[in-house]
Amino acid sequence: MSKADELAKLDELRRSGVLTQEEFDAEKAKLLADIPPSTDSSLPQHGAAEAPQGEGWSQASDGRWYAPVSRPGYPPPSAPVEASTPLPAAVQTRPTSSAPGVEERRGNTSLFVVIGIVVVVIIVVGAVFLLKGSASNSRSSQNTAAQANLQTALTGADTFYTADNQTYTGIYGGSGLSTITAIDTGLSYVPSPAASTDPSTISIRESAGAVLELTAYAPASGICWGVLDMKASIATPVFPGYPSTTETGTYYFSSQQSSAGNCAANITNPGLLSANGW
């Protein structure tokens, strides 16, 4: 018989009045404490008899005799206390999002991202300015070089003019002892209508032995720089828009050109012209 059946039987005896509440409690405690019930078949199932059945039996107020563990008022044995392993203290965990250092690391990561973006922007902007500055410097340096080279060419031309008996005739490709290409100016010369294509290549045109035109092209700026040297007066202006170019003197001019092919001494018309320099 299972313990459940025995408890049910005890409860039935209690409800029928065979067992008092105290007896029921005692029998129940004994059963739950795993105290094996008596195997003596001479004893009643409920633990009471009409006469004592052994040592320790006592007579109750109802006139019956009870075993020591089942008589009314007998204290039930204490239930054994099972050794228990102390439970570890509850481990409190923080959500991942609030773990120490996580937010700080996230903040640092965000800061690094922002710094990285700022650095990239600075590099890009700096590169743009450098490119613009480089382009500007290139334009400026080419313009300056073209002007300086024209002054050098003019000095060489004056040397030729003096050495060739006060005439520009034959300054380029002539049969005389000295030509502009033989004078050490460090420049290259092309006879007009050939055009200048860079600051160190000079397009040269001579007319009437007393008129000399020199041009040099600056590709970065697209400007054709030039010099007109008049050793004597002539009847018709060299540049129709500038009547003064009939008179003796040195004139400096420039002209914005769409290509190097337009910077030839014989076809260039100045946009600006001055007797005092560029």
Structure tokens at 82: 């099972």
The pLDDT confidence band at residue 26, using thresholds 50, 70 and 90, is confident
* Under 8 Å between Cβ of 51 and 62: no
Predicted confidence (pLDDT) at residue 177 exceeds the cutoff of 50: no
pLDDT of 234-268, one tens digit each? 999 999 999 999 999 999 999 998 776 889 998 88
Inform me whether the pLDDT recorded for 43 exceeds 80. Answer: no
Q: What are the tokens at 24? A: 């029921």
Distance of alpha carbon 80 from alpha carbon 156, whole angstroms? 127
Give the pLDDT band of residue 155 (cuts 50, 70, 90): very high
Determine what percent of the chain is predicted with pLDDT higher than 70: 73
Edge to edge, what strands does the sheet with 58-59 contain?
Answer: 48-49, 65-66, 58-59
Q: Please report the pLDDT score of residue 245 as a whole number.
A: 95
Greater model confidence, 172 or 228: 228
DSSP letter (8 states) at residue 271: S
More confident residue, 72 or 31: 31
Is there a contact between 169 and 204 (Cβ–Cβ < 8 Å)? no
User: Residue 63: what pLDDT?
Assistant: 74
67-78 average pLDDT score: 55
Q: Higher pLDDT residue, 176 or 36?
A: 36
Nearest Cα to 162, choosing from 175, 177, 144?
Answer: 177
Give the per-residue pLDDT at 274: 95
Q: What is the mean pLDDT of residues 155-161?
A: 93
Do the strands 211-218 and 223-230 form a parallel or antiparallel pair, or are they unpaired? antiparallel
CA 222, CA 263: separation in Å to the nearest integer?
A: 10
In this predicted structure, the answer to whether residue 62 has a pLDDT above a threshold of 70 is yes
- Picking from 132-146, 149-163, 201-215, which range would have the lowest pLDDT averaged per residue? 132-146
Q: Give the residue with greater pLDDT, 130 vs 181.
A: 181
Q: What is the mean pLDDT of residues 73-91?
A: 52
Average pLDDT over residues 91-109: 59
Range 198-215 average pLDDT: 94
Per residue in 106-150, pLDDT (tens digit) is 667 778 888 888 888 888 887 776 666 666 788 899 999 999 999
Query: How much is the pLDDT for 40?
Result: 47
277: left (phi over 0), alpha (psi -120 to 50) or beta: left
Kindly report the number of other CB atoms within 10 A of residue 63's CB atom: 8
Residue 104: the pLDDT is 63
Q: Are strands 188-191 and 201-207 parallel, antiparallel or unpaired?
A: parallel
Measured between alpha carbons, how far is 156 from 179 in angstroms, rounded to an integer?
9
Q: What is the pLDDT of residue 39?
A: 47
Longest dimension (CA), the chain: 173
The confidence score (pLDDT) of residue 42 equals 46
Average pLDDT over all residues of the chain = 80
CA dihedral for 146, 147, 148, 154, sign (positive or negative): positive
